[in-house]
Amino acid sequence: MKSEEAKLLPMAHWRKNDQVFQALSSHLLGVAALSSIFGKKISLEVAGELIGLLHDLGKYSEDFRCYIHSALGLLNPDEDDYVDSGALKGKVDHSSAGAQFIWQTLSKRGERESLIGQLLALCIASHHSGLIDCLDPEGSDVFGKRMRKPEEKTHLEEVQSCADAEILARAHVLLDSPELIGEMKNLLTTLNQKEKNSRPLFQQLGLAVRFLFSCLIDADRIDTANFEQKKVAANRPQGDYVPWAVLIERLEKALAAFAPRHPIDHLRQQISTECKDAAERPAGIYTLTVPTGGGKTLASLRFALHHAERRKLDRVIYVIPFTSIIDQNAKVVRDILEPEDFPQDQGKVVLEHHSSVTPEKQTWREKMLCENWDAPVVYTTMVQLLETLFGSGTRGARRMHQLANAVLIFDEIQTLPIRCVHLFNNAINFLSEQCNSTVVLCTATQPLLHQVALDQGAIRLAEGHEIVSDVRQLFADLKRVEIIDQRRPNGWTFAEIADLARAEVERVESCLVIVNTKDAAKQIFLACQSLVNADSLSHLSTDMCPMHRKSELAKIKSRLEFGLPTLCVSTQLIEAGVDVDFGAVIRSMAGLDSIAQAAGRCNRNGKSARGRVYLVNPSDEHVALEYLKDIAIGRDKVASVLDFFRETPERYEHDLLGPQALADYYTHYFFERQKDMGYPVSPKEAKAIGRNDSLLSLLSDNESSLKEAARNGDSSSIRGLNQSFMSAAEAFKAIDSPTQGVVVPWGKAGADLIGRLHGAYDISLEGELLREAQQFTVNVFPHVFDKLSKAEALHVIKEGVRIYSLDPRYYSKQFGLATEPVSLMETLNV
């Protein structure tokens, strides 16, 4: 409808390019239809329709009409109803009316209906801000205040008198329908039956709110984008994917073409076959415990595709611990599932969702680049997954409903942040038991998530949860290394470690040194320069952009393949999913899980009887580890296992990396970390939310807030849901310190890319360019970013979009990003 007609009818959105507006009733019905489809995934289709239908009810008010028409220039500034839209931006409340409409109707019908009304009203009231607190940490009744917000602010009575009759009539039908109360009661009953402990129960109830909230947010964003951008609507797959049977055929064809090259390949085929057979199992949470180098990537994909076909699921989601290995794993899978002889499927099967460029909180322009998980196979990071479940705002929460009817593969699950253990466990139980998803926890070092405190949240594994039939035998068959404990009372100097590395290169042609800090890697690399030929020496760290690391890894793999002398000094990044095969490995002391991952880079293909993995304790690394709690505690706890192993090796079947040793390690490690598993807030976070607490508490029973409410004399208003959703979300950080992406000038390609980024007319429209930039981006912590800023080494690519490029003088061809200028000669040769 054109601008003149727009003055007569309630408006939802305005399309600027052709001066057409979307009628509010059309938007509400469109969102209701989509939200109902999404809600149906957990049998909440009526609830989904209701919140979609009423989410923008407040837009029927005269205040909103005047605001939006003034903002769009549809009203003459001299007319009586013209308002200063700039001053009113974000201040005209259109989300409370629908929430109050539901709350006032259902809260009068009984305790259970009141809880249902609160759950639904929360979704509507929060659809622009992210889920609001029910009680805030100080005990204030935030939800109650919102529901009591006066008529002059919410216009509830007004909008009921002027809203489209079909919208109100359908809303009353839904509110009075037995199906609405029935489906919500079924959810609550199922939660009570599955979860006997109050804290996990309340957290899962909160997750049900977030799930329904996700349905509303995604429906709202899709309907809006489809109206505003017709090309987007035309290209949106909306579940129209390449069939599972076709993808299975492509995978099976690729697997059949793999000719065994190494003795270990027959064991990898055996693991893959067991994964295919296990796909016939029912829904549940499973473990795939396979030593490193056992071929988990394609074996787990085989399980996932066959299982998704058997159970008619929507998608497979791979959750990878680090962005540094997503590209590698996704490329392997994409080459198989999007073959060149099917060009129509290119880019339509495998979706990578991670961003090294854009920060966690995006500007409105950057939000346009955020991808929806509308694809059959999705590769994402643990950070993105945790943000989807617990993060602030609406961007991450929007994707949560896509975790239903899915196969979720968690690669290297032992890297789960320790403070997220209980939050994660309760969420995975919810996704498995309420959302019809199957979960597979993949690793060589299962972290015993089912054996942590039940009353806080332990994963409920399926009966017969292990996919591999005989884990102990598999570890014995795949044992390819000997662990050599070389700890010294006074530790090792970096020079001594370098000398040991040189000796191993002379003995077996190749050696990998893995340390815990970037500085240690740099110092050992420098010490090695005088000991070995420069061509044989490599360095890897996260200060190097992905393209730089890929180039260095390609060189390393080529030298290893041809049997040339090779010495690599790296941080832990090489331990996760990087397929390299060294003759010997030297590992700085760390947790047994890290040691096992390091061992997986030694004699990986079983070319020799036993490779050697040396454990050393660098004296110069000790102080730095005081700031790396997880590594420091892991190092201390593994020392106990090493000591036990020396005394009673038979307890561990003479295998320091076997299942029993790993179980003992995690028992010691988890006992030490029990208090950290509920996500205790940091002092900074505690100051922000007003008190010391844990996110597990804030997102479940919220006991401290309830006590504060009682002290405030406000206990009479406490309801079924008392969580501090927003406060917890704002305190939540998937990683300890947020990082900022910086695009670096590595090589001519990096320099040219930066030039194109700076020259782009509108960077928000340059999706392909930004995706390319991810390969030339280094994530830096705040203190490094500040230092670079003060040195004027950073350049803003475009005002208003927080993407930066690095001055060439601050990028080293050996070590990557630097906080001090590197030499001119090196700069010219980068």
In this predicted model, what pLDDT tens digit does every residue of 312-350 receive, in sequence order?
999 999 999 876 667 677 888 999 999 989 988 887 898
Q: Is the dihedral of CA 384, 387, 388, 392 positive or negative?
A: negative
* Residue 346, CA distances (Å) to 257, 316, 351, 407, 696 in order: 21, 17, 11, 22, 42
Query: How much is the average pLDDT of 25-48?
Result: 97
* pLDDT of the residue at 683: 78
* pLDDT of the residue at 282: 97
Query: How much is the average pLDDT of 147-173?
Result: 95
Q: Is 588 helix (H, G, I), strand (E, B) or coil?
A: strand
Question: Is the pLDDT at 153 greater than 70, yes or no?
Answer: yes
* Residue 204, CA distances (Å) to 427, 428, 458, 502 in order: 7, 10, 13, 54
* pLDDT of the residue at 767: 65
CA atoms within 13 A on the CB side of 471: 21
Question: Is the pLDDT at 130 greater than 70, yes or no?
Answer: yes
Q: Which of 546 and 356 is assigned the larger pLDDT?
A: 546
* pLDDT of the residue at 205: 97
* pLDDT of the residue at 356: 47
What is the spatial distance between Cα 460 and Cα 523, in angstroms, rounded to a whole number? Answer: 45
Residue 626's pLDDT band (boundaries 50, 70, 90)?
Answer: low
Asked if residue 95 lies in contact with residue 128, where contact means CB atoms within 8 angstroms, the answer is yes
Asked if residue 532 lies in contact with residue 498, where contact means CB atoms within 8 angstroms, the answer is no
Asked if residue 725 lies in contact with residue 131, where contact means CB atoms within 8 angstroms, the answer is yes
Phi first, then psi, for residue 319 (nearest 5°) are: -110, 115
Question: Is the pLDDT at 78 greater than 50, yes or no?
Answer: no
Bridging pattern class, strands 377-381 and 315-320: parallel
The whole-angstrom distance between residue 251's C-alpha and the CA centroid of its chain comes to: 26
Residue 608's pLDDT band (boundaries 50, 70, 90)?
Answer: confident
Residue 85's pLDDT band (boundaries 50, 70, 90)?
Answer: very low
Residue 627's pLDDT band (boundaries 50, 70, 90)?
Answer: low
Nearest alpha carbon to residue 785 among 813, 798, 809, 804: 804
* pLDDT of the residue at 426: 98
| Neighbouring C-beta atoms of residue 179, cutoff 10 Å | 12
* pLDDT of the residue at 798: 73
Residue 736's pLDDT band (boundaries 50, 70, 90)?
Answer: low
Nearest alpha carbon to residue 99 among 45, 175, 156: 156
For 189-307, where are the E strands, in sequence order?
285-289
- Which of 349-363, 622-636, 697-711 is the least confident region? 349-363
Residue 18's pLDDT band (boundaries 50, 70, 90)?
Answer: confident
Q: What is the pLDDT of residues 488-498, one digit of tens each?
A: 999 999 999 99
Question: Is the pLDDT at 828 greater than 60, yes or no?
Answer: no
Unique residue bearing structure tokens 């920060």: 359
What is the spatial distance between Cα 451 and Cα 459, in angstroms, rounded to a whole number? Answer: 8
Question: Is the pLDDT at 391 greater than 90, yes or no?
Answer: yes
Nearest alpha carbon to residue 37 among 274, 275, 239: 239
* pLDDT of the residue at 84: 43
DSSP symbol at 810: G
- Which of 207-211, 640-644, 700-704, 731-735 is the least confident region? 731-735
Question: Is the pLDDT at 86 greater than 60, yes or no?
Answer: no
Phi first, then psi, for residue 60 (nearest 5°) are: -80, -10
| Neighbouring C-beta atoms of residue 738, cutoff 10 Å | 14
Asked if residue 119 lies in contact with residue 212, where contact means CB atoms within 8 angstroms, the answer is yes
Tokens of 361: 């909180």
What is the spatial distance between Cα 131 and Cα 123, in angstroms, rounded to a whole number? Answer: 7
* pLDDT of the residue at 823: 63
Residue 69's pLDDT band (boundaries 50, 70, 90)?
Answer: confident
Query: How much is the average pLDDT of 390-403?
Result: 93
Tokens of 775: 């390969």
What is the spatial distance between Cα 223 and Cα 15, in angstroms, rounded to a whole number? Answer: 13
* pLDDT of the residue at 330: 81
In angstroms, what is the C-alpha Rg of the chain? 28
Question: Is the pLDDT at 180 greater than 70, yes or no?
Answer: yes
What is the spatial distance between Cα 820 and Cα 791, in angstroms, rounded to a whole number? Answer: 8
* Residue 741, CA distances (Å) to 84, 506, 583, 759, 801 in order: 37, 40, 35, 19, 12
Query: How much is the average pLDDT of 386-399?
Result: 93
Question: Is the pLDDT at 58 greater than 50, yes or no?
Answer: yes
What is the spatial distance between Cα 561 and Cα 631, in angstroms, rounded to a whole number? Answer: 32
Average pLDDT, the chain: 88
Q: Which pTM value belongs to this model?
A: 0.89
What is the spatial distance between Cα 820 and Cα 480, in angstroms, rounded to a whole number? Answer: 42
Contacts of 724 (CB under 8 A, 6+ apart): 133, 134, 135, 136, 137, 689, 698, 699, 702, 705
Q: What percent of the chain has pLDDT over 70?
A: 90
Q: What is the pLDDT of residues 21-35, one digit of tens each?
A: 899 999 999 999 999
* pLDDT of the residue at 264: 83
* pLDDT of the residue at 610: 86
Q: What is the pLDDT of residues 440-460, one digit of tens each?
A: 999 988 999 999 999 999 999
Q: Which of 548 and 234 is assigned the larger pLDDT?
A: 548
Q: What is the pLDDT of residues 347-376, one digit of tens each?
A: 789 888 765 444 434 433 333 334 578 889
Q: Which residues, in sequence order, are bridge partners of residue 577? A: none
* pLDDT of the residue at 100: 97
Tokens of 681: 């807030």
Tell me the one-letter amino acid at 593.
D
What is the spatial distance between Cα 808 and Cα 821, in angstroms, rounded to a whole number? Answer: 9
Query: How much is the average pLDDT of 813-821?
Result: 93
Question: Is the pLDDT at 10 greater than 80, yes or no?
Answer: yes
Residue 82's pLDDT band (boundaries 50, 70, 90)?
Answer: very low
Bridging pattern class, strands 350-353 and 377-381: parallel
* pLDDT of the residue at 759: 84
